[in-house]
Amino acid sequence: MSERLLVLVRHGQSDWNLKNLFTGWKDPDITELGVSEAKAAGQRLKALGLTFDTAFTSNLTRAQNTLKLILGELGQTGLHVEKDQALNERDYGDLSGLNKDEARKKWGDEQVHLWRRSYDVPPPGGESLKDTVARVLPYYNQYILPAVLRGERVIVAAHGNSLRALVMVLDGLTPETIPSMELATGVPLVYRLKADSTVESKQVLEPVKA
């Protein structure tokens, strides 16, 4: 059952998520809630009896620390982790560090919505989702997918938009449907792949409702 396993996890809530700021390649850490989300993600993976052979994450602290906390819950603190900026969040350029409400006042609701939710319109000085996909997918095809197809159990802790690029391929989404697809913080997506790299099964490990 553990063959060709790929788990994707968006980092736990970051300090700038909490403050409603555009984050991009800026490097705030996760909040106390983010720590709890990451630990809970690890506990849900542990409850399924999952462990990993290989881990990938971005060059940003919030993703790295989320992964560290998850692996801690699994008793796998010594696992080798590949870090690469190819898995970084989308670069929001001139929007980085700005409050999203203030950005709407400056540029207007429609323009900010276009930058946030269109597929191929980048914010000033930044990346569109299309640009992010073009950066993430070659890395996935060169490093992550081959490991999964070798039978390694792989976990990737990254960001809303870099993971959207992978979900777009795995779930067969289109440029029209992917921008509206939301990834919750700290919720693992458990994929099992067929030998041809298509998806055999997908499980979303939502938090248990109290």
Give the pLDDT confidence of 82-97 residue by residue, as tens digits.
Answer: 999 999 999 999 999 9
Side-chain-side CA neighbours of residue 132 (13 Å): 35
For 27, phi and psi rounded to 5 degrees?
A: -125, 50
Handedness of CA 95, 100, 106, 112 (dihedral sign): positive
Say what the pTM is.
0.95
Instruction: Show the tokens assigned to 104.
Output: 């709407």
Q: Which residues in the chain belong to E strands, given as ranges?
A: 5-10, 54-57, 81-83, 154-158, 189-193, 199-204
Contact (Cβ atoms closer than 8 angstroms) between residue 23 and residue 92: yes
Domains of the chain in sequence order? 5-204 (3.40.50.1240)
Q: How confident is the model at residue 1 (pLDDT cuts 50, 70, 90)?
A: very low
Q: Could you confirm whether 200 is annotated as catalytic?
A: no
Give the pLDDT confidence of 54-113 residue by residue, as tens digits.
Answer: 999 999 999 999 999 999 999 999 999 999 999 999 999 999 999 999 999 999 999 999
Catalytic residue chosen out of the listed positions 11, 37, 127, 159 = 11
Q: Could you confirm whether 113 is annotated as catalytic?
A: no
Which pLDDT value is given to residue 23? 94
Pairing of strands 5-10, 189-193: antiparallel
Give the pLDDT confidence of 5-62 residue by residue, as tens digits.
Answer: 999 999 999 999 999 999 999 999 999 999 999 999 999 999 999 999 999 999 999 9
In whole angstroms, what separates CA 63 from the centre of its chain? 8
Catalytic residue chosen out of the listed positions 37, 89, 127, 159 = 89
* Mean pLDDT for the chain overall: 94
Round to whole Å and give the CA distance between 54 and 69. Answer: 15
Tell me the percentage of the chain whose pLDDT exceeds 90.
91
